[in-house]
Amino acid sequence: MTKSTPWTRSSRPRIERLTRRMLDDNISAIVCMSPEGTFYLSGFNPIIYSHPVIVIATPGHEPILLVFALRGKHACESTWTPDVRLYGTWAGIKTLAPTWQQALAMIIEDLGVAGKRIGVEEGWLSVAQYREVAGALPHAHLVDASASVSLCRQIKDPDEIGNARIAARIADVGMAAAVEALGQRGLTERQVVIAAMSAMNQDWACNYPEVEACDFGSLEGGNHNGLAVWVLSGPRKSYACDNPTQRIPQEGETVSVFIWTVANGIHAELERTVCIGSVAPAEKEAINAILNIRAEVADLLHPGIPIRALYEVAKKGFEKRGYGACLPGRIGHAIGLGAHESTSINGSSDMTLAAGMIVTLEPHIHISDVCGTQFSDTILITEAGPEYLTHFDGGYLEV
């Protein structure tokens, strides 16, 4: 099965980066099976993964996308790699082999790497599936390639940055709708969530015809729509995440609003603490402290700064304002194909900020029965410094 669309390697710098890593690590091929990983290396997300989707990446060769016959047409229309191969028995379609294990073995044999070091995602692959891969490739020396793929994902390609901008714009629309709904007073958490979801879906449906809003599902089910809203009011803020309830936010309380969006697989997040009228001095003080700490760290978001140094600045900010005892373990994280990617902005990181990274900035102050702040933006690191992709007002927010 060959695609007619022309494809050039230079349009997907991630392949170059991954190839360099594979050469450094002496890995001859990577057999990628996670939803995020296979999408990263092919652009195909079938949403349902009951039939495994596999990408075989090897230096000097386009990524090979191996899918069940039923998914062939869909895969060919979605993917940017020109090499799509099929397995399985379905509707009389000609395939490489009846099972993915057989097809994988044939591809690895053809590539001449059957006896070499082959990378798999040990951080994702189940023990049972690992056994299947090992059985299909009896001569291979399987090694963990989780880090190769996740490090490669840290620097975003131009298409990913474009999608992050869209996801962030949709998040802005959702936050505006949530804040407006909270301003009406008397609506339940659920009603606020529904208002924001509805606004985002309308925005997506009208303005982004080429963008998919589905997310990556688990092995037991798909995630059809990744335009997500969480609303936790008053004491429920301490749950950090929960389904919304029929609780009505009360005058004088604060409400945590989380907007998480996705555009063609790339996520954005936008989070705000909204004050319902005038709140207690202790809450107000914590909010102002966190806004100032964020500003201090944001100034430093330039390529070349050690991530640990960012955390240190936040730590000092917490301490000098009397919040040293509730310093969080991290003050942000990388974001992209995952809503939370593996890089954390914490005190033990040995990573350095680089242009093309996308991170969230979200130091929080949570003190039981006193306050809980929740501010986060999605920020692209450019050569010139931080570029906020989410634009919603980042100051003190009262309705």
Q: Does 209 bind a copy of itself (CB under 8 A)?
A: yes
CB of 398 to a copy of itself, least distance (A): 26
From the list 227, 208, 269, 216, the residue with the least C-alpha distance to 40 is: 216
Looking up tokens 């290396």 gives: 41
Which residue number, 354 or 367, has a Cβ lying nearer to a copy of itself? 367
Q: How far apart (Å, rounded) are the C-alpha atoms in residues 95 and 324? A: 61
Q: Does 146 bind a copy of itself (CB under 8 A)?
A: yes
Q: Which of residues 239-258 bind a copy of itself (CB under 8 A)?
A: 239-243, 245-246
DSSP letter assigned to residue 352: B
Q: Which of residues 174-203 bind a copy of itself (CB under 8 A)?
A: 188, 190-191, 194, 197-198, 201-202
CB of 224 to a copy of itself, least distance (A): 4
Q: Which of residues 4-33 bind a copy of itself (CB under 8 A)?
A: none
Q: Does 102 bind a copy of itself (CB under 8 A)?
A: no
CB of 124 to a copy of itself, least distance (A): 6
Q: Does 221 bind a copy of itself (CB under 8 A)?
A: yes
| Binding window for a copy of itself (CB under 8 A); candidates: 94-102, 313-321, 324-332, 390-398 | 324-332
CB of 44 to a copy of itself, least distance (A): 11
Site size with a copy of itself, rule: CB under 8 A? 75
Q: Which of residues 31-50 bind a copy of itself (CB under 8 A)?
A: 35-36, 46-48, 50
Burial-class residue 271 by CB neighbours within 10 Å (0-12, 13-18, 19+).
Answer: buried
CB of 338 to a copy of itself, least distance (A): 4
Sheet holding 385-388, edge to edge: 358-361, 377-382, 385-388
Q: In the stretch 344-363, what mask flags binding to a copy of itself with x, by CB under 8 A?
A: --------------------
Which residue number, 240 or 354, has a Cβ lying nearer to a copy of itself? 240
Q: Which of residues 270-299 bind a copy of itself (CB under 8 A)?
A: none
Tokens, residue 214: 């589905």
| Binding window for a copy of itself (CB under 8 A); candidates: 24-32, 234-242, 291-299, 347-355 | 234-242
Q: How far apart (Å, rounded) are the C-alpha atoms in residues 269 and 360? A: 7
From the list 110, 100, 117, 112, the residue with the least C-alpha distance to 33 is: 100
Q: Does 315 bind a copy of itself (CB under 8 A)?
A: no
The CB-based long-range contact list for 306-311 (8 Å cut-off, 24+ gap) reads 306/349, 306/350, 306/351, 306/352, 306/353, 307/343, 307/345, 307/346, 307/349, 307/351, 307/352, 307/353, 308/346, 308/347, 308/348, 308/349, 308/350, 310/345, 310/353, 311/345, 311/346, 311/347, 311/349
Which residues, 6 or more positions from 385, have their beta carbon under 8 angstroms from its beta carbon? 301, 302
CB of 304 to a copy of itself, least distance (A): 28
Which residue number, 128 or 384, has a Cβ lying nearer to a copy of itself? 128
CB of 209 to a copy of itself, least distance (A): 5
Q: How far apart (Å, rounded) are the C-alpha atoms in residues 293 and 63? A: 44
Q: Does 156 bind a copy of itself (CB under 8 A)?
A: no
Task: Judge contact between 256 and 276, C-beta under 8 A.
Answer: no
Task: Judge contact between 130 and 120, C-beta under 8 A.
Answer: yes
Q: How far apart (Å, rounded) are the C-alpha atoms in residues 363 and 256? A: 14
Interface pick for a copy of itself out of 107, 301, 337, 389 (rule CB under 8 A): 337
Q: How far apart (Å, rounded) are the C-alpha atoms in residues 53 and 24? A: 26
Q: Does 92 bind a copy of itself (CB under 8 A)?
A: yes
Interface pick for a copy of itself out of 3, 17, 61, 74 (rule CB under 8 A): 74
